[in-house]
Amino acid sequence: GKQGGTADSEENRPLWQKCRKGFLFPKYVKKEKKIMIITLKDGSTKEYSAPMTVLEIAKDISEGLARATTAGEMDGEVVDLRHRVDRDCSLSILTASDPEGLAAYRHTTSHILAQAVKRLYPQAKLAIGPSIADGFYYDIDIEGGFTPEDLEKLEGEMKKIVKENLEITRFTKPREEAIALMKERQEPYKVELIEDLPEGAEISFYQQGEFIDLCAGPHLMSTKPVKAFKLTSLAGAYWRGDEHNKMLTRIYGTAFPKKAELDEYLTMMEEAKKRDHRKLGKELGLFMMHEAGPGFPFFLPKGMILKNTLLDYWHELHERNGYQEISTPIILNRSLWETSGHWDHYKNNMYTTVIDEQDYAIKPMNCPGGVLVYQSEPRSYRDLPLRMGELGLVHRHEKSGQLHGLMRVRCFTQDDAHIFMTPEQIKDEIKGVVKLIDQVYSLFGFEYHVELSTRPEDSMGSDEDWELATDALRGALDDLGLSYAVNEGDGAFYGPKIDFHLQDSIGRTWQCGTIQLDFQLPLRFGLEYTGADGEKHRPIMIHRVAFGSIERFIGILIEHFAGAFPTWLAPVQVKVLPISEKFLDYGEKVLAELKKAGIRAELDVRSEKIGYKIREAQSLKIPYMLVVGAKEEEQSLVAVRSRFKGDEGQSSLAGFTEAIQKEIASKEIKKVEIEEK
């Protein structure tokens, strides 16, 4: 109290009390710990008072989850198991059952492959080795390339690396040290990759045993979990996809967490080889490729029947749904493509030419031509929606290494349609297109899933237009009750889109149908219509395809049906097989009646035994065979054999004709009830 304060004031407390309270030494005061809240995939939360790695959080949830986890997803970004979580966030613990988790598993397998390559072939130079949709690959520069026998050796070495249970660690280096490390290890492709990274970028490496690779990750914690893998094929690949660069050897492989899954995949791949459309296309006489025009398919007579039958269905479907058909030129001048935006955004994929000293382009898309047709006369709101369909031949420059039968070509027929409409009509038109595409895929027995693709980095148009367009597509899908995934940043440069990924009979997926909503082309071309108010308004445009590329869709159908097309689609629906030359006249009479009824039929006039004729007709996947001999001729009958039931017994020609006409008209896909030999 003598110092002027009360006896219990802070100033009069003894020094030891002040220390205890932290007045003189505040760092000794116990501070309240900050709580970090982690929101998990199921909506539950975990609280931590210190940073935790993804793996540590997985262990805290359950030891089983920690053993299965391959990566994490933090606030939508895939991260490594070693990643330190130090703030509130949403976190998904990924396993191989998640696409991103399986990708991390396979990415680790690609590093095991690269380590095996360096052990067995130290002179090899490594390029890149990412995970891909159905596995992984690694591009390697090695004199003389690899052989299938080399793949077996590499698989054996990979198994040794897995058995060694090598810990996988991550470290980073500044740019100059990173370059020096890769130069020391004599990896010129890695040096080039580092030199191309932006200033200030984090340069990370992963190490397992003696092997070090430049990599952003993510990866597993060790090599031990990688058990079920297979190196599947070899291919050539230009460094960085540039045909002016060196050709490297690409080793493809796949990996699964369970051997049963790998076996199932390999069985599917074997089935896919049998169904390869290039092989069947040749055997069934459907199409050919020629060195005179790489990437430009030749359709043979039977292939043209198949193609035209598909196009007949297309015409019937679109007429029923209120479309008008148009046809626009293949070559149009540069000015048009500049206005459309293709010259700036798509020029590398376009073929160009010069006419009368002016630049022209062979069309890669039909849409600008459709816009010119809309512009050709004044339009009123009463004309809308205006649905215009076009089977347009388009050309796109594809690199030679990417060409693949009918699946990846340089010219194809696109079953385009362009719909011009008012803002109020958007949702109903999108629904109508979705229903039309569903009708097409259901006809062929395809299941499918839907993706909504949003604005890419290289795009044109205002934020408001993109938001309105994206919301319109999302709203239509929601109204139809369709489940869909959002594919961020994968829209067209002029608008968002809905993509349809169909699944074939052996489980593979193909992207075919698409719906793109476009505010930009109507703006760039100054399209107008007169509204009910007498004023000028700008229409909105839908681009859509159902088949996609007719050629590619035929390739998919060949593989989906293994060449055994439904009767309505089969190039030859009936083969007439006389038992001997004595019955050729009756065979000719049967053939004439079938053709008169509109049935695609052929007569086998060869002097071969009937068993041989039947086997050959079966190998050509012909739906029906009509065997004719003495008994059939006497009673005006035919002996029916089918691809579906085998021997179906005798029938009157009229009865058979009526039955097959009904099957063709209904476009029925009949089930095979006998085991194929």
Three-state secondary structure call for residue 641: strand
Measured between alpha carbons, how far is 321 from 421 in angstroms, rounded to an integer? 15
pLDDT value for 628: 96
| CB contact at 8 A, 342 and 365 | yes
Give CA separation, 99 vs 111, 232, 508, in Å: 19, 20, 15
Q: Which helix (H) or strand (E) holds 68?
A: helix 63-68
Q: How many CB atoms neighbour CB 660 within 10 A?
A: 23
pLDDT value for 33: 58
Residue (of 274, 271, 228, 234) closest to 250 by Cα position:
234
Q: Report which DSSP code applies to 4.
A: S
Residue (of 277, 253, 285, 305) closest to 504 by Cα position:
277
Q: Report which DSSP code applies to 293.
A: S
pLDDT value for 542: 94
Digit-coded pLDDT (tens) for 437-470: 999 999 999 999 999 999 988 787 788 888 888 8
Residue (of 674, 566, 586, 673) closest to 638 by Cα position:
586
pLDDT value for 451: 93
For the sheet with 351-355, list strands across it. 331-333, 358-362, 351-355
| CB contact at 8 A, 238 and 121 | no
Digit-coded pLDDT (tens) for 104-146: 999 999 999 999 999 999 999 999 999 998 999 999 999 999 9
pLDDT value for 537: 96
620-641 in b/e form (b: 16+ CB < 10 A) is bbbbbbbbbbeebbeeebbbbb
Q: Which residues are catalytic?
A: 367, 396, 414, 416, 418, 497, 543
Digit-coded pLDDT (tens) for 363-402: 999 999 999 999 999 999 999 999 999 999 999 998 887 8
pLDDT value for 675: 66
Residue 314, beta-bridge partner list: none
Cis peptide before 385 (omega within 30 of 0): yes
Measured between alpha carbons, how far is 553 from 406 in angstroms, rounded to an integer? 8
3-state secondary structure 462-475: CHHHHHHHHHHHHH
Measured between alpha carbons, how far is 66 from 521 in angstroms, rounded to an integer? 51
pLDDT value for 13: 54
Residue (of 666, 607, 618) closest to 641 by Cα position:
618
Per-residue tokens: 12: 């009069």
pLDDT value for 646: 94
Counting as low any pLDDT under 50, the low residues of the chain are 1-11, 15-16, 18-31, 677
